[in-house]
């Protein structure tokens, strides 16, 4: 049984820039073959629908981004750069696009399983397991084929968003990472001082 309780759907039926800071400190939990994987969300980015040229939903609904236009609380998983997957949590009411990209987790349970999934040595530092959107998907075994469209707020889902009452010490807001359009908008939210947040060096990387 995963820790905490499932999050209310109404919590996510809001604008992504309001959901993003509130989802910091919440838990992502996955049951896989008897093993429980749990990580605390420590870094996210908000993406809107229209009016956000950096969002996948900016050009309207397509086969790939359909989940973003669906009801809140579902997983939008997409394949990127030929090697990695990224996980979003859909926000807003059905028909309205919007999501929160989960960029980093603090691993809490199932570290051995995550280490194996990442192909790392047993001695690897825990922060290497889930500090980055591609990394955390690899650690949790998330792919578009297996998890796109999964309801994160269903007790029967194998991937869930939960709340154990933890309150983050502080939130830092910075520009989003890895995008070329609207890169200046401060929509990246992270837990102040958490070592699992992807490093400040990447934040300073020039956008060309």
Number of Cβ atoms within 10 Å of the Cβ of 195? 12
- In the bound state with DNA, the residue whose beta carbon lies nearer, of 4 and 175, is 175
CB 57 within 8 A of CB 65: yes
Least separation, in Å, of the C-beta of 133 and DNA?
A: 5
Q: What is the C-alpha separation between 146 and 155, in angstroms, rounded?
A: 17
- Three-state DSSP at 128 gives helix
| Binding to DNA, residues 36-55 (CB under 7 A) | 45, 47, 54-55
Q: What is the C-alpha separation between 104 and 145, in angstroms, rounded?
A: 21
Does 180 bind DNA (CB under 7 A)? Our answer is yes
Least separation, in Å, of the C-beta of 196 and DNA?
A: 12
Does 20 bind DNA (CB under 7 A)? Our answer is no
CB 37 within 8 A of CB 114: yes
Least separation, in Å, of the C-beta of 108 and DNA?
A: 19
- In the bound state with DNA, the residue whose beta carbon lies nearer, of 2 and 46, is 46
- In the bound state with DNA, the residue whose beta carbon lies nearer, of 2 and 19, is 19
Nearest to 29 by CA among 121, 140, 146: 140
Does 124 bind DNA (CB under 7 A)? Our answer is no
- In the bound state with DNA, the residue whose beta carbon lies nearer, of 1 and 83, is 83
| Binding to DNA, residues 62-81 (CB under 7 A) | 62-65, 68, 76, 78-81
Binds DNA by CB under 7 A, chosen from 20, 27, 28, 57: 57
Does 121 bind DNA (CB under 7 A)? Our answer is no
- Three-state DSSP at 201 gives helix
Q: What is the C-alpha separation between 138 and 127, in angstroms, rounded?
A: 14
């Amino acid at each position: 049984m995963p820790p905490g309780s499932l999050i209310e759907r109404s919590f996510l039926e809001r604008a992504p820039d309001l959901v993003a800071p509130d989802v910091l400190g919440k838990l992502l939990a996955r049951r896989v073959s008897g093993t429980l994987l749990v990580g605390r969300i420590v870094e996210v980015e908000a993406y809107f629908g229209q009016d956000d040229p950096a969002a996948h939903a900016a050009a309207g609904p397509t086969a790939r981004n359909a989940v973003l236009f669906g009801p809140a609380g579902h997983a939008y998983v997409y394949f990127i750069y030929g090697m990695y997957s990224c996980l979003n949590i859909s926000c807003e009411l059905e028909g309205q696009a919007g999501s929160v990209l989960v960029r980093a987790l603090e691993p809490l349970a199932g570290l051995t399983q995550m280490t194996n999934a990442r192909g790392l040595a047993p001695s690897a530092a825990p922060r290497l397991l889930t500090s980055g959107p591609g990394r955390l998907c690899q650690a949790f075994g998330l792919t578009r084929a297996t998890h796109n469209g999964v309801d994160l707020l269903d007790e029967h889902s194998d991937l869930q968003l939960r709340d154990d009452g933890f309150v983050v010490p502080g939130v830092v807001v910075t520009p989003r990472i890895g995008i070329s359009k609207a890169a200046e908008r401060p929509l990246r939210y992270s837990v102040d001082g958490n070592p699992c947040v992807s490093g400040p060096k990447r934040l300073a990387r020039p956008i060309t």
